[in-house]
A and B are shown apart, each in its own frame.
Chain A
Amino acid sequence: DAKTTQPNSMESNEEEPVHLPCNHSTISGTDYIHWYRQLPSQGPEYVIHGLTSNVNNRMASLAIAEDRKSSTLILHRATLRDAAVYYCILKNQAGTALIFGKGTTLSVSS
């Protein structure tokens, strides 16, 4: 699976939007972009995934660049419970299991 690059850490204030970037310049045409997050003392939790079009669900939005070489996870109103490590992962539909990187540690302040 192709590699992703994320900032090590980001900070946000409560009730403000958060934009978490991910670069994946070597993405192939069949790679899906998956986002997971891991809260303290818990296993990772699925957030959202997409291929080409922007995606929305109850947790977040995923904005995918037109050339697909980058994407952004958007949390519309951060809460203290959103403090976690966020992982951006590329997965080929026929490929192996998810391979996690270091992710972005998001801190949220009140």
Chain B
Amino acid sequence: ETGVTQTPRHLVMGMTNKKSLKCEQHLGHNAMYWYKQSAKKPLELMFVYNFKEQTENNSVPSRFSPECPNSSHLFLHLHTLQPEDSALYLCASSQPQGDNSPLHFGNGTRLTVT
């Protein structure tokens, strides 16, 4: 148990669907992150939120839309995805960015786009 919970664990969606990934942490952290991990590639940073404000967008296509309603919850809204978007999507949280405290990761959502 990492303290960061991601749902669903697995998701299969068609290219015309709209779905959302959810991340929740109750560790008292104020920074939350989305990473993407494609097969045989390093983790890629997608978005960073500090105190509910987006502080980094790593040139992510607009078909991925993050939302951070409070410091404990982070969503990734998905629409009109492509098959190459199939990957493991990982959420993490930490003390505010700029601190050297560790990141705590969830176990990810395995997304398959058909």
Contact = CB atoms under 8 A, between A and B. Distances in A.
Interface string B4-43: 1000000000000000000000000000010100000011
B105 A43 contact: yes
A93 B99 contact: yes
B contact face: mostly helix, strand, loop, or mixed: strand
Given A96-B56, A97-B97, A44 B103 contact: yes
B2 to A, nearest CB: 7
Contacts of B97: 96-97
Contacts of B92: 43-44
Interface in B95-112: 97-100, 102-108
Interface in A66-110: 91, 93-94, 96-103
A49 B100 contact: yes
Given A43-B105, A43-B108, A46-B104, A97 B43 contact: no
A4 B100 CA distance: 18
A44 B105 contact: yes
Contacts of B90: 43-44
A56 B97 CA distance: 24
Contacts of B4: 43
A101 B33 contact: no
B56 A98 contact: no
B48 interface: yes
A102 B42 contact: yes
A49 B102 contact: yes
Contacts of B102: 34, 46, 49
Interface string A1-41: 00000000000000000000000000000001010100001
6 contacts: A42-B107, A42-B108, A91-B100, A93-B99, A96-B45, A100-B35
